[in-house]
Every structure is written in C-alpha cells, then in structure tokens.
Amino acid sequence: MAFFATLSALPSPLHSSSPVPVNRSKGSLPPRSRLIFPAAVKCDAAEEFKSDTGRFPTKRRELLLQIFLASLSLPFVATNASAETDLQESFRIYEDEMNKFRISIPEEWLVGAGDVNGIKSVTAFYPEELSDSNVSIVITGLGPDFTRLESFGNVDAFAETLVSGLDRSWKRPPGVTAKLISSKSTNGLYYVEYTLQNPGERCRHILTALGIASNGWYNRLYTVTGQYMEDEAEKYQPQVVKMVSSFRLI
C-alpha cells in the first residue's frame, strides 16, 4: 500500500471522534535502556544556521540527521499479550494540548511520553505485544530564522539530503543502506518515505511527517516517525500509515 495514496483519503482528525487529552501522569516512556539516542539534539543548534533555501550547510545536515536518528530508536514493551492485531480495529484521537498536536492511534496501542536531554518532548505509540513497529513524535527547538519548512529546502531536496546522509552502503565494508521511496508536501507538512537496512538484518520501512510551529516563544520542529519491519508489513503497515497520515498541528 502506497503511503501517499492514503493522505487525501483519510478523514481529518478534526472530524473524528472526540479527542482524548494527554494525561502524562498515566503514561511514561519505557526505561531509558530501551531508548537509544545516538546524538543529542541541541535545542539552540539551529540558531547558528542561515535560513537560505539553497544547498544544505554541513551543520544543518547534521542537525537533521541527529533529529531523525533520535526518532528511529523507539521504545518497545515486552508483554504477555498474544492476541493478533485486528487490521480493522478502531482508532481514537490522541491530543496533546500542551504541545499542540493530535494524531489518530489504534485503540489498543500504548502511549509513552517524556523528556530526553536536548529534546523538548518525546511521545511514543506502540502495540502491546513485542514489536519493532511503532510511531514517535519528537519535538525540538529551532532558531528564529526557521519559521517554515522551506527553510530546509523544498521537500524533494530535503528528502534527498536526509536519505543520502543516512546511507552508508558505499562504505567498505558496507554499512546501512538507505533508499528513498517518495516525498510530498501537503497539509502544511513534509512527508518522506524510505527504507533502512543494515547488512544481514531486516529491512525497516520509515514514514516521516515534518512540521514547524511556534509556541509563542520559539519555533519548534515536529518530527513524526513511523516504522514497521518488512516481515511485519501485513500486520502493522496499515496502522503506521494511517497514524502518520493523520498527524496535525493544532
């Protein structure tokens, strides 16, 4: 199923069932040992950059890669649940009034929220059973020059920069192989779909939505990252695609 083919077909969260407000007292991120952030994302790092829309300066590329690498190592929880996920299961609206976003999530999926060094907010959604398939929303601070997504270039240039920066298949011995599938700008967001695969490991499909908004004091970058493993595609692809596609800033 193509990711972008679903964007116009999915109903807007604004017309869905009543939103479920975030309750941070009931959910937290799993133990830190299950969260691996390869690089800290400095909240003021982007202040050093110029807001041109041409080629990406080296530091801007590094900022993007840090943010996306942080988004890829997501939490999972080992449970005794054995029931299969119903592909037609109902979704509910998860709304974070503090961070001004909402997203549709499967009724049975778990939610974890917290803070990580250098990152303003992390919210993760994952199935009850043990799986590497999940969706996360990472919020990081940006400098005042970064007021819109075009500050990172157009969506195609952004996607090429992101994926080429992650790809290490050219090294000897080869590292991770990153392949761009598609990119699109719609709903005021950038959408990128690509795959990552380390030598000898399973292929990981990544769906990303990117948006910028201000909280009244500074600009914030919202990075929504959904991932499912190729061998779990039949089970989790529909949920992950719908979740990423439903994300909206409010």
29 vs 34: CA distance, rounded Å: 9
34 vs 104: CA distance, rounded Å: 24
DSSP string, 5-66: GGTTTSPPGGGSSPPEE--TTT--PPPGGG---SS---TTGGGGS---SSSPPHHHHHHHHH
Write out pLDDT tens, residues 205-226. Answer: 999 999 999 988 889 999 999 9
DSSP string, 134-198: EEEEEEEEE-TT--SGGGG--HHHHHHHHHHHH--TTSSS---EEEEEEEEEETTEEEEEEEEE-
pLDDT greater than 80 at residue 194: yes
Cα–Cα distances in Å, from 154 out to 14, 56, 58, 164?
Answer: 27, 11, 17, 16
Cβ contacts of residue 8 below 8 Å, gap of 6+? 186
User: In this structure, how many other beta carbons lie within 10 angstroms of the beta carbon of residue 9?
Assistant: 8
The pLDDT-based confidence of 118 (bands split at 50, 70, 90) is: low
Copy the structure tokens of residue 226: 């959904």
Average pLDDT estimate for 115-133? 85
Are 114 and 34 within 8 A, CB to CB? no
Strands 101-106 and 248-249: antiparallel
Ramachandran category for residue 242: left, alpha or beta (phi over 0 → left; psi -120 to 50 → alpha): alpha
Q: Which of 165, 133, 140 is nearest to 229 (CA)?
A: 133
Going across the sheet that includes 101-106, the strands are 20-21, 91-96, 101-106, 248-249
* Long-range pairs of 84-91 with CB within 8 A, sequence gap ≥ 24: 84/235, 85/127, 85/129, 85/235, 85/236, 85/239, 87/235, 87/238, 87/239, 89/239, 91/16, 91/242, 91/246
139 vs 155: CA distance, rounded Å: 19
- Mean pLDDT, the chain, rounded, equals 74
191 vs 211: CA distance, rounded Å: 9
227 vs 224: CA distance, rounded Å: 10
The pLDDT-based confidence of 71 (bands split at 50, 70, 90) is: low
pLDDT greater than 70 at residue 86: no
13-17, 198-202, 214-218, 223-227: the lowest-pLDDT one: 13-17
pLDDT greater than 90 at residue 138: yes
